[in-house]
Structure formats: structure tokens, C-alpha cells
């Protein structure tokens, strides 16, 4: 079946630094990839939608200069949290659309 | 629109009982609906889906019911097991591959 690999699973970074999260579709080509953020005991909130080779579309209220998304190929999208602050600490989840929606295992980001 | 909640509704059942988890969706134009299971620290896992031209679909131990008139979706789990303990989310899609909007989620706890 369709598999999406997301790395790292956990990351701790210092305030002010940047963190990159990778999302790869392993056995299919994803026409679209999605990035979600999830706070404890809350639902998944869509941050942005990206298509290969084009600029990402960000949801209202999501800072595009802070959450940089690169979708360089049909199998890889990256989310870079720039100048991270403690309030960016969250669970980030990617989803790739190819044969339906397939989700990654998530990345727990802690900014200290 | 996005679903935001400050806490998750909970459902506690005894092992072997049937569970019913409900979801109200917001977009009358939504055409496709999915139920996901999310265990702590993991990404959402597909359970079952249904299109808007159906009102019921069955899987192994799970059944999804769709009532478009009142924009209501339910997930029935038969003979609930401790391994079913997780958070369950409904998600809706308006256009194929466009985006998924998640409901608030329900924390299911199965007591042995």
C-alpha cells in the first residue's frame, strides 16, 4: 500500500534556529502534499497545500515566511520552520495525495 | 472551515461493547468523507470512507453512516477491543485531492 515517510519523528531545537521536516512518498507519486499542525488534544489544522514545482498555498493565518515549504519533486516535500519559537512547538503531520490521502507518522517539534 | 477545539469529547466503553462515534460536518458541498484513527504520537490511520452518493458502508467491524440532510456522520465499531482505544477523527473533502478538513475528534477509551 501507499507509504509516506516523515522525518524526523522528534526534534528539539533552540529558540531562533530553523528546523527542516521531510515528507516522502515511498511507493507512489504525490500530485499534492499537505502540511498539518496539531496541538495537544486538538484536531489537525491544515497549514498549507503544495504541488510539485509550484508555490505552496497557505491557509489564512499561517505565515508563509515562517513556514517554508518546498515541493521539489513528486515524492518529496519539506517544511522548514524558520526562527522557531516556543509557541511553534507542536506535532506536524504531512499527507501525500496520490492513491487517496496517505499520512506521515508526524514530527514532534519542541522549541526550547 | 477548520475545526478547532479546546478539548476532545470522550467516549468510554467496555470491551466487547459496540461503540458509536459521531461527527457533524460543516460543508454541504463535501463529497467524500473519511474516518481516521490516531494513536498517541502517530499520524492518522485510515479506517473507512464513504462518498456522498451512499448512506452506509461497512468494513471489518466498522460501519460508517452518512446523513446528508443533517450533515452528520457516524462510525460504529462492533465488539470494541482495547486496541481500538485512540482518537477518532472524521474528515471531509469537497473536491478530489483538494484538501481534507478534520472534525474535532473523539477520544475512545476501551476498558477491559
pLDDT tens, position by position, A62-112: 999 999 999 889 999 999 999 999 999 999 999 999 889 999 999 999 999
Residue whose entry in the numeric block shows the C-alpha cell 519539506: A78
Residue whose entry in the numeric block shows the C-alpha cell 469537497: B94
pLDDT tens, position by position, B82-95: 999 999 999 999 88
Nearest CB partner across the interface for B99, out of A46, A91, A104: A46
Decide if A21 contacts A13 (C-beta within 8 A): no
pLDDT value, residue B3? 44
Q: Say whether pLDDT at B5 is over 80.
A: no
pLDDT tens, position by position, B35-92: 999 999 999 999 999 999 999 999 999 999 999 999 999 999 999 999 999 999 999 9
- A52 against A15, higher pLDDT: A15
Of B39, B34, B28, the C-alpha closest to B70 is B28
B6 pLDDT band, cuts 50/70/90, is low
Of B45, B41, B32, B50, the C-alpha closest to B84 is B45
CA B55 to CA B16: how far, in whole Å?
26
Q: How many CB atoms lie within 10 A of CB B97?
A: 17
Decide if B49 contacts B64 (C-beta within 8 A): yes
pLDDT value, residue A21? 98
CA distance to partner chain A, nearest, from residue B14 (Å): 23
Q: Say whether pLDDT at B2 is over 90.
A: no
Q: Say whether pLDDT at B1 is over 60.
A: no
Inspect the interface and report whether the beta carbons of B99 and A49 lie closer than 8 Å.
yes
Of B93, B46, B34, B96, the C-alpha closest to A31 is B96
Q: Are strands B62-67 and A32-38 parallel, antiparallel or unpaired?
A: unpaired
Q: How many CB atoms lie within 10 A of CB B20?
A: 13
Inspect the interface and report whether the beta carbons of B97 and A6 lie closer than 8 Å.
no
pLDDT tens, position by position, A9-27: 999 999 999 999 999 999 9
Nearest CB partner across the interface for A106, out of B34, B41, B105: B41
Can you say whether the dihedral through the CA atoms of B27, B31, B37, B41 is positive or negative?
negative
Amino acid at each position: 500500500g501507499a507509504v509516506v515517510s516523515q522525518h524526523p519523528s522528534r526534534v528539539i531545537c533552540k529558540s531562533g534556529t530553523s528546523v527542516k521536516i521531510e515528507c516522502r512518498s515511498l511507493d507512489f507519486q504525490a500530485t499534492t502534499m499537505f502540511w498539518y499542525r496539531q496541538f495537544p488534544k486538538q484536531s489537525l489544522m491544515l497549514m498549507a497545500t503544495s504541488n510539485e514545482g509550484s508555490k505552496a498555498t497557505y491557509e489564512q493565518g499561517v505565515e508563509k515566511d515562517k513556514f517554508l515549504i518546498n515541493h521539489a519533486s513528486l515524492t518529496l516535500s519539506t517544511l522548514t520552520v524558520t526562527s522557531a519559537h516556543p509557541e511553534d512547538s507542536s506535532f506536524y503531520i504531512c499527507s501525500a495525495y496520490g492513491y487517496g490521502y496517505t499520512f506521515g507518522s508526524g514530527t514532534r517539534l519542541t522549541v526550547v | 472551515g477548520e475545526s478547532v477545539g479546546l478539548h476532545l469529547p470522550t467516549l468510554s466503553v467496555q470491551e466487547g461493547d459496540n461503540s458509536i462515534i459521531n461527527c457533524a460536518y460543516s460543508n454541504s458541498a463535501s463529497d467524500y468523507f473519511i474516518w481516521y484513527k490516531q494513536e498517541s504520537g502517530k499520524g492518522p490511520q485510515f479506517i473507512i470512507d464513504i462518498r456522498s452518493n451512499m448512506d452506509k458502508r461497512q468494513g471489518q467491524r466498522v460501519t460508517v453512516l452518512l446523513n446528508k440532510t443533517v450533515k452528520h456522520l457516524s462510525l460504529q465499531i462492533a465488539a470494541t477491543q482495547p486496541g481500538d482505544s485512540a482518537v477518532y477523527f472524521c474528515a471531509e473533502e469537497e473536491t478530489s485531492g483538494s484538501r481534507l478538513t478534520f472534525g474535532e475528534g473523539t477520544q475512545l477509551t476501551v476498558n477491559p
